[in-house]
Amino acid sequence: MLDFTTLPYVDDRFKAVRRETVQVRVGEALIGGNAPILVQSMTTTKPKDVDETVRQTLALAKAGCGLVRITTPTFADAAGLEDVMKRVRAAGCTVPVSADIHFQPKAAFEALKWVEKVRINPGNFVDTGILTLDQQTDKLFDEGKEKVAEAFTPFVQEAKRLGRAIRIGVNHGSLSARMIYRYGDTVEGMVESALEYLAVCEAEHFDQVVLSLKSSNPRVAIAAYRLLAARLKQENFKPYPFHVGVTEAGAGADGRLKSAAGIGALLLDGLADTIRVSLTEDPVAEVPVAQDLIEACELKADAPKFEVPVFKKDPYHYERRESSVVKIAGVEIGGSLPVKVGVKSDAASLTGERRGPEFALAGFDASAGANIVTFKDAMDVAGFAANSASVPAGSIFCYTGSDMVYGVRALASALAAADRKDPILLYAKIGSSDKDMLRVSADFGSLLTDGLGDAVVIDGYKGAKESVALAFDILQAAACRRSKTNFISCPGCGRTLYDIRTVLGKIKERFGHLQDISIAVMGCIVNGPGEMADADFGYVGGGPGRITLFEGKTAVKKNIPEENAIEELVNLLKEKGRWVEP
């Protein structure tokens, strides 16, 4: 495990400021520096479908999208960008466009001619995928590094000549076999994959580069971006801006909560310069969610300063904070118990239902029978840090002030300095708006990723039942505790091989009654197997009209006609003993 003091990603974990970066120009847009955080999205088309690609691009621009990305799977698609861009500009739209490239360096070179930015994936620009993992050696790893420089240098030179920007976009789901061989399936592998390509850019004195490290697991994404920020400093690279996102977030409220848990946490760390919320919905629907999330997680210039010891806990590898078991309203929390969900109420019917309240929080004072000690501001936390004996052992610690993330971190740091293991209750009193929902998911997502929190209570979101449901949903979004069927689904793009929105709806209807199971619904094979790392089963486009079913990362049924695939997935779950009749 790493110590924050030896490898920091920010100067102060108790008072975030926006990270200073190189400013990258993408057409008329600016990313990083002191520019506002840019919202972007992606069409679901191939450039060869010129009419629909132009229509979606213009619709996204009208919705307030600051950059539009278009998947470009082949050289012919890259060439098709010429017509797309002519028509977009002829319509009076000046929003910049980025081409999204996998596997096709020639397509990347062609795309540079027509669009302002090109995204390449280090996992497949030169290297091979995970299927060649058993063939890797130390010698091949070193030779691969030379091949990267040989293939990527001319591309960087051409981007520099044309005045284009590049995104080095690493996906957890498509790490190369070479990187997995050396670093394992880890955040280190993601970071080193980006740095290898970035070193080529620096050698060419080219700094119009944006970096991204995406994962479908918010916990992985948060850790990866933090580690990248730290490693850039450590290697004396320029501070390049970050494109932040959580891939395969899904649809509806669950997709929004998962996006908020990951992207929001990074916004609260000051590490985001441009964001994309990936939803399995119409791309236009992503834009207002991203705008709301940026507004909800805006950093305060006048945030309080917490006078406590440095919070040394490793921010790059998840480990839940060690805590003792203490009872709240007669219910045990802490230790190795799951993070419990409570309800703000004088009493609650504890029926044992899977998503029902697990304890009642009547109040915080002694008259309510609570052994909870509250801290409402930085002064309260500093008082405990100076005199930890003032709070009896076996208490439950709860920060109730503003700036929850920094306050709870400060409280955890003070507890660690005092060698105290009292459990921590995460409490949020919120309103009922979408922004309130996004902000509490960002707050809880950040803290749960830090390994902080033994119980959670959300107070005031619509009604008591809705507040409890939201708490359970955030725990699931933050990869902390599963309480219902977990669906992982990509947003769809020009590579998608079936109508993913319709199919996702059918799969949710067919499998939504199951508990403690995760199902991935992926449009194609590019990120499918890798991003399904946390899924028990997967439904992946294998070809036009054909589906491949996965158990974990293993393809177990291939070339299934799409019309039969959902029932075949039911049969697969039955074979594995995971199916329950509704």
What CATH architecture does domain 24-296 belong to? Alpha-Beta Barrel (3.20)
- Confidence band for 471, pLDDT divided at 50, 70 and 90: very high
Q: What is the mean pLDDT of the chain?
A: 92
State phi, psi for 95 to the nearest 5 degrees: -60, 130
DSSP annotation string for 426-440: EEEE--SSHHHHHHH
Q: Tell me, yes or no, if the pTM score tops 0.85.
A: yes
Q: What is the pLDDT of residue 162?
A: 98
pLDDT over 80 at 367, yes or no = no
Helix axes 50-63, 75-90, angle to 10 degrees: 50
pLDDT over 80 at 350, yes or no = no
- Confidence band for 249, pLDDT divided at 50, 70 and 90: confident
Q: What is the pLDDT of residue 385?
A: 94
Q: Which of 202-211, 242-251, 544-553 has the highest mean pLDDT?
A: 202-211
Q: What is the pLDDT of residue 181?
A: 92
506-546: per-residue pLDDT in tens?
A: 999 999 999 889 999 988 776 556 666 678 999 999 888 89
- Confidence band for 347, pLDDT divided at 50, 70 and 90: confident
Q: What is the pLDDT of residue 129?
A: 63
Domain at 486-575, CATH from 3.30.70.380, 3.90.1570.10, 3.40.190.10, 3.30.413.10:
3.30.413.10
381-398: per-residue pLDDT in tens?
A: 999 999 999 999 999 999
Q: What is the pLDDT of residue 542?
A: 85
DSSP annotation string for 478-512: TTS---S-EEEE----TT--S-HHHHHHHHHHHHT
Whole-angstrom Cα distance, residue 473 to residue 450?
Answer: 18
Q: How many CB atoms lie within 10 A of CB 182?
A: 18
Alpha carbon of 499 to those of 235, 236, 333, 537: distances in Å? Answer: 44, 45, 44, 19
Q: What is the pLDDT of residue 489?
A: 85
What is the domain partition of the chain in residue ranges?
A: 24-296, 326-477, 486-575
131-144: per-residue pLDDT in tens?
A: 577 888 899 899 99
Q: What is the pLDDT of residue 204?
A: 98
Region 29-36: mean pLDDT is 97
CA atoms within 13 A on the CB side of 106: 5
Region 10-20: mean pLDDT is 93
Percent of the chain with pLDDT over 70: 96
1-10: per-residue pLDDT in tens?
A: 677 888 999 9
290-303: per-residue pLDDT in tens?
A: 999 999 999 988 88
Burial of residue 303 (CB within 10 Å: 0-12, 13-18, 19+) is middle
Region 93-98: mean pLDDT is 98
pLDDT over 60 at 26, yes or no = yes
What is the maximal distance between C-alpha atoms in the chain? 73
